[in-house]
Chain A
Amino acid sequence: MSPLIEIAVEHHLGQFKLDANFTSNGRLTALFGRSGSGKTSLVNVIGGLIRPARGRVLVDGEVLVDTRHGVFVPKHRRRIGYVFQEARLFPHLTVRQNLLFGRWFAPREGRDSIAFETVLDLLGIGHLLERRPAGLSGGEKQRIAIGRALLANPRLLLMDEPLASLDEARKAEILPYIERLRDEIGIPIVYVSHSVAEVARLATTLVVVDQGAIKACGPTAEVMSRLDVAGLSGAAEAGSILEAEIVNHDTEYHLTSLRTQAGLLQVSRSALPIGGHVRVRILASDVLISLTLPTGVSALNILPGTIAEIGRTRGGAAIELVIDCNGASLLARLTAKSVAALALRHGSQVYAVIKSVSVETS
Chain B
Amino acid sequence: MTRRTHTTPAATGTRPLVGRHVRHPLHGPTLRRVSGPAAPPGLRARARSSGSRVARRVLDQPLRRLGVVGAVVLLAATAAFGGLEEQTDDGLEVLAVDEPVEVAPFELTVQRVVWTTELPGQTLSEPGNRWLGVVTTVRNTSDAGVLGTVLREALTLDDVPGLVGAPGDLGVPASAVAVLVDGSELSPVQPGLAYEVAFLFEQDGRTPPPSSVAVRLQRHVWGTGSLDPTAGWRDPTTVLRGNLPAREAVTDEDAA
A and B: interacting chains: no
Which chain B residues have a beta carbon within 8 Å of chain A's beta carbons?
none
Which chain A residues have a beta carbon within 8 Å of chain B's beta carbons?
none
